[in-house]
Amino acid sequence: MRGVRFGRMCGVIALVLGLTGTSLSAFAQDKPKQEESPSAVSMVLQGDSFFGFNPAIAGTYKLSSDLAIAYQGVWWTDISGLGVHDANTWIETDLGVNMTFLNKQLSVTPMLGFVHGMLLSSRGGVFPNGDGSRNERTTAFEGVVPNLTANWLSDRFEGEFYMGYYKALREEGGSNADGGAAGCSTIGSVDCGLGGGATSNRGNGGRGSWDFLHYWFNAGVRANDIISFGVHYEHLLSTRASAIGGGTASGRGYQQDYYRWIGPYVEAKLPGSMALRFTVGKDTADNEDFYKLKFVKTF
């Protein structure tokens, strides 16, 4: 009798466990899988020996497996004005598309951007040989930046190419032919509105505007999943100046190299979608050294 009862109890327990297991299995199968987000954002902390600290944010929104909307924002450098606009940072905003090819090993991103500040439209800031002034007009959409980025990443090799043309859209610094943004007819580094001893340059006639070409490329080998190393080349040059300023190096239409960098880099691709790269080498345009440090975190 006890054996019969024990057998029946075991049968009930087995039935309950079987039903519970089936229910849990069905629940696990019915639970929806978490879909991959179509949006990706990268925070970039970087600095170098020319621009100083210039952080950026870049992102994509996937439209299909090989096509996405791309956007970018760069705080290029600290170009401070005076008075009410005392934080006249040079900022770049870009929008374009990202396309991938060859099993996503090749990525191509054409973009159209705009810069805001005073560097292009008034030749403001403290660029070398630019008759620099930190007291020029704050100007939104002062320049346009068509640019192209291409990246290659495979199991063995990696590479990157960038080219951007920074073209002034506005002439807030005046030109040789007019009296400048504030109607001053003086050409040079003295602000006629403030007297002969002033050097703020706000409203100078003849400050003009200028354009830049900026490009780089690098190629490297991946030693393993974490470490890679290679060679980097980067060039920044002015391509046009619309007026003569006060500096001895400035002339109408003059062009000059700001730097030509070449040197090795080493990068660590870290867990958690992070990467850290250090680049160092020679500035062949100025017989000096250069260095760059870049940290990226992708969400």
CATH number at residue 293: 2.40.160.40
Task: Please check whether residue 22 lies inside any domain of the structure.
Answer: no
Task: Please check whether residue 228 lies inside any domain of the structure.
Answer: yes
The tens-digit pLDDT sequence of the chain (299 residues) is 444 444 554 454 343 334 334 443 443 445 555 678 899 999 999 999 998 899 999 999 999 999 999 999 999 876 555 545 556 778 999 999 999 999 999 999 999 999 998 888 887 776 665 556 667 788 899 999 999 999 999 999 999 999 999 999 998 875 544 433 333 333 333 333 333 333 334 444 456 788 999 999 999 999 999 999 999 999 999 898 776 544 444 445 567 888 999 999 999 999 999 999 999 999 998 889 999 999 999 99
Task: Please check whether residue 46 lies inside any domain of the structure.
Answer: yes
Can you read off the two tokens belonging to residue 295?
């940290």
For residues 91 and 79, what is the distance between their CA atoms, to the nearest angstrom? 10
Task: Please check whether residue 154 lies inside any domain of the structure.
Answer: yes
Buried b (16+ CB within 10 A) or exposed e, 29-68: eeeeeeeeeeebebebebebebbeebebebbbeeeeeeeb
Task: Please check whether residue 96 lies inside any domain of the structure.
Answer: yes
Q: Give the total number of structural domains in the chain.
A: 1
Task: Give residues with Cβ within 8 angstroms of 141, minimum separation 6.
Answer: 114, 116, 169, 170
Task: Please check whether residue 53 lies inside any domain of the structure.
Answer: yes
Task: Please check whether residue 223 lies inside any domain of the structure.
Answer: yes
Q: Using DSSP, how many helices (H) and how many strands (E) does the chain show? A: 2, 13
Q: Which domain holds residue 100?
A: 37-129+143-167+209-298
Task: Please check whether residue 182 lies inside any domain of the structure.
Answer: no
Using alpha carbons only, how large is the chain's radius of gyration in Å?
29
Going from the C-alpha of 204 to that of each of 6, 18, 200, the distances in angstroms are: 103, 88, 9
